[in-house]
Amino acid sequence: MKILHVASEVAPFAKTGGLADVASALPRHLRRAGHDVRVFLPLYDTIDAGAANLTPLLDGIEIRLGAHRYQAKIVVAGSEPHVHFVHCPALYARGAIYTSDADEHLRFLALCHAALAACQRMGFAPEIVHCHDWQTALLPLILKEQLAWDRLFADTRTLLTIHNLNYQGLFPAAIVPDTNFDHSAHLLHQDQLREGRINFLLHGILYADGVSTVSPTYSREIQTAEHGAGLDSFLRARTSTVIGILNGVEYDEWSPESDRLIPHRYGAADLAGKERNKEALLTGLGLPYVPGVPVAGIVSRLAGQKGFELVEEVMPDLLRRHRFQLVVLGSGERRLQEVFIRLQAAFPRQVCFYKGFSNPLAHLIEAGADLFLMPSRYEPCGLNQMYSLRYGTVPIVHQTGGLADTVRQWQPQSGEGTGFSFERHDAAGLRWAIEAALTVFDDRPAWRRLMKNGMAEDFSWSAQVKRYEAVYARLRD
C-alpha cells in the first residue's frame, strides 16, 4: 500500500513525547512489512540538520492560507529517506516545536498543505493518509473539499489517530479564512463557530474515514462524558469507526541487552548489569548508592495529565517512613517542576530531580531504577511503562487507558502479574501501590519473579502493525 503519515513530531528529529516515538516507529515497521510509506513533519530549527544529513527533494512549493503566502521546500533525511521535512523558516524557525504564537494554526495547516502538494509533485497517490493529533486533523476535510478535483487522491482514505484527546487545537473563529474554508464554512461545526471557536481535532473526528486511539481502554474511555473532553458525543456518534490499537515498543532502541545508551547491558537471565546501572545512575546524579535500597524513577513531560499532584501528596511521608530513593527526569509546567524541586530540597539524599529533556538519562533511569511511577490521571497509551517492563523496572500505574491494558497487577499467591496498578486516582491509591511494591521488593525471590514476568512481555510493533494494516485495508475496501 502507499501510505502517507503526517505528524508534528517524529523521533529522533523532533520529540516532546510519545507521539514522536510512534510517528517514527510505525512508518518504519510498515516499510519493513513492504509498504511504500512517506512521512512528513516540519523542519523545525531545533532539528540538527547536519546530523539528519538532509538532501533537497522539491522546492518552490507555494502554500496559500487565506491572505498568507509561504514558500516551502521539501528535504529528506539521509538516514531515513522516507522521512520528509517541510522547510519553511518563516513558520518553523521558532526555537521550539510548539509555540503560543498567534500563527500556531498556520504552522500546522501549512504542514498538511505542503505534504499534499508534495504528493502531487511526486505523483504519489496515497491509499491511506494517516493523520496524528489536532495538528493534522483538518487534513481529511482539506482532502475531501479543497482537493476533491484531483484524481490523484480519488482512492485516498484517511485515518486520524488521537494520541491525546485533551489537545484539540482550539482557535478563535476569526482564523477561519486561514483554513481556506471560508467559502465552504457550512462544512465546519456550526455551533462552535457561533460560539466564536474552531476546534481542529473535532473536524478530524467528523471527517476522517476512520478514527483510532492508542489503546483499547482509552478508545472506550473517550466515549464517556468523564474522559471525553467535550468530544465524547461526536466519538459515540462514530463508535463503529473508533478503534483502539496499542502502541508498540521499538525494542531495537529499548532493550537492556543491546541498549547503547546505558553503561552495563543485561537481560532476564543475568541481571547483574542492572545493579551496576543503578550505581552509575545514582552516582551520576550525586545520590548515595546503598545496595538493597530501592530506587523509583520518573521520566515524563510535567503536565497535569500525569497525576504528579498525588506524588506531591504522598511522597514526603513515604520518604520519611521507608528507605527508598526517587529519581525524576522531566520538563514542563513550572508548578510541577516546583513540586520536585521542593522534594529534592527536603530529601537531598533520597531525591534527585533533573529538569530537562535527555534521552540518554531516560534510558539510564529505565535501566537503573527498580520501580517506575506513572500515576497518570489519564493515559492514552503511555510508552514508559512498557519500556520499564522490558528493563525489569516494575511499573506502578494508575489503572487507566493504556496503563490498564499493559500492566497486570502482581498476584502474590500465583506469582502472576507485572506491576502495581491502583484503581482510584487518589493519594490513598498511590500510597497503597508504592507500599505494596516496597514490601514485595524485600522478598527477593518474589521480586525477581515480578521483574522477569515484565521482561517476558512482548509489546513489539510487528503485532501492532498488522492491526493497522487491517484497519487500512478496511478503509480502502
The answer to the question of residue 331 lying near ligand ADP (CB under 6 A) is: yes
- List CB contacts of 292: < 8 A, sequence separation 6 or more: none
Query: From ligand ADP, ligand GLC, none, which one binds at residue 255 (CB under 5 to 8 Å depending on kind)?
Result: none
- DSSP-based three-state secondary structure for 328: strand
| 254 versus 422: smaller Cβ distance to ligand ADP | 254
| 61 versus 362: smaller Cβ distance to ligand ADP | 362
Q: What are the backbone angles phi and psi of residue 69, rounded to the nearest 5°?
A: -125, 135
Q: Contact 419/410 with Cβ under 8 angstroms? A: yes
User: How far apart are CB 329 and ligand ADP at their closest, in Å?
Assistant: 5
User: How far apart are CB 39 and ligand ADP at their closest, in Å?
Assistant: 18
User: How far apart are CB 47 and ligand ADP at their closest, in Å?
Assistant: 16
The answer to the question of residue 273 lying near ligand ADP (CB under 6 A) is: no
CA separation, residue 302 to residues 168, 298, 305, 329 (Å): 19, 10, 8, 9
Per-residue x/- mask for ligand ADP, residues 287 to 316, rule CB under 6 A?
A: ------------xxx---------------
- Record the cell numbers describing residue 145, joined without a space: 473539499
> Among 7, 18, 38, 368, which residue sits at the site for ligand ADP (rule: CB under 6 A)?
18
- Number of Cβ atoms within 10 Å of the Cβ of 415: 13
Query: From ligand ADP, ligand GLC, none, which one binds at residue 454 (CB under 5 to 8 Å depending on kind)?
Result: none
Nearest to 247 by CA among 404, 464, 397, 398: 464
Position of minimal CB gap to ligand GLC: 18
The answer to the question of residue 298 lying near ligand GLC (CB under 6 A) is: no
- List CB contacts of 242: < 8 A, sequence separation 6 or more: 211, 212, 213, 219, 222, 223, 235
Query: From ligand GLC, ligand ADP, none, which one binds at residue 27 (CB under 5 to 8 Å depending on kind)?
Result: none
Q: Contact 210/471 with Cβ under 8 angstroms? A: yes
The answer to the question of residue 126 lying near ligand GLC (CB under 6 A) is: no
The answer to the question of residue 381 lying near ligand GLC (CB under 6 A) is: yes
Return the H-helix or E-strand segment holding 217. Answer: helix 216-221
CA separation, residue 355 to residues 285, 296, 300, 311 (Å): 12, 16, 10, 17
> Among 21, 133, 221, 259, which residue sits at the site for ligand ADP (rule: CB under 6 A)?
21
Q: Contact 403/382 with Cβ under 8 angstroms? A: yes
Per CB under 6 A, contacts with ligand ADP among 357-376 are 357-359, 362
Interface residues with ligand ADP (CB under 6 A) are: 17-19, 21, 299-301, 329-331, 357-359, 362, 381-384
Interface residues with ligand GLC (CB under 6 A) are: 17-19, 22, 163-164, 214, 247, 379-383, 402
